[in-house]
Structure 1
Amino acid sequence: MKEHPDFDKAFLATQRHRLIGMRDELLSMANFASHEQSDLQREAGGEAHDDADSAERLAIEENNEAQLSALTRRLAKIKRAIEKIDTGSYGISDRSGEPITRARLLAMPEAIYAAHEA
């Protein structure tokens, strides 16, 4: 397993802490969006609605689904980055095995690819 040569334990600990905070925040947002989606579906159940109400509800549901999908993808990257810290491969691209720059990881701690690969 290849390790990034420029990262010390303090940097990795800081990044792990940041990633866990991001993960927890995203999980909270996903739970909220999921509950909101359930509430919309429950409110719509069995009631007569005009076309404008139905179109608005459909637009809200589509937006919520898109947000949940984006949250899920980002959460997967965050979980992978935490796993990479734990296995010693953080800062190494999953695609090419090339190092990911410190600047990129500071800006996007969940980065699992070098900038030119993303």
Structure 2
Amino acid sequence: MNARPVLRRIDMTGQTLNAAFIEEQRQRLLAMQRDVLGSEENTIGAERNDEESTGSEAQEYEDDAQRMEQDIANQALRNMNVQRIADIQRALEKIADGTYGFSDQSGDPIPVERLKALPEAVLTVQEQSARDARH
């Protein structure tokens, strides 16, 4: 009988990422991915319904301005979702290849508390702040 090795990694801060924690994070990431993808589908569906319901009505300049503002807000939400989905998928890849809990950029450990709060974290707080500042 082949016993499956227990996945346990200790990072440089002495934190233990055991198999149960990593599996819990994987399940959370999968649920988050479904939620984010579902909200994106809802946004696209709402836009389509809006276009269909106002297609034959007279156009007002105020309507155009409101629609443009809504389009800008929807695009900003899409951009955030695209990055979040990419981070979720990358975190799932890191779980699969055994590097979950370590920064993609520096290789430094990501604190367990950060991973609990943001299971999709693939960067340290400082690295994430720098990435956010660039975008």
TM-score w.r.t. length of structure 1: 0.89
Structure number with bigger Rg: 2
Aligned pairs for 1:4-43 (under 5 A) are: 4-5=9-10, 6-43=16-53
**Once the two structures are superposed, what CA deviation does each residue of 1:7-53 show, in whole Å capped at 9, x if it has no partner?**
11000000001111111000100100111222333445464311111
Instruction: Report if aligned partners of 1:93, 1:113 keep a CA contact under 8 Å in 2.
Output: yes
CA shift, 1:67, in A, is 1.0
Partner Cα separation in structure 2 for residue 72 and residue 117 of structure 1: 19
Cα 1:61–1:43 change in 2 (3 A) is farther
TM-score w.r.t. length of structure 2: 0.79
Aligned pairs for 1:1-118 (under 5 A) are: 4-5=9-10, 6-45=16-55, 47-118=57-128
- Considering Cα pairs closer than 8 Å and 6+ residues apart, tell me whether 1 or 2 has the greater RCO: 1
How many percent identity over aligned positions? 34
Instruction: Report if aligned partners of 1:94, 1:113 keep a CA contact under 8 Å in 2.
Output: yes
Number of equivalences: 116
- Report the RMSD for the aligned CA atoms in angstroms: 1.6
Cα 1:115–1:109 change in 2 (3 A) is same
Structure 1 segments unaligned to the other structure (5+ residues): none
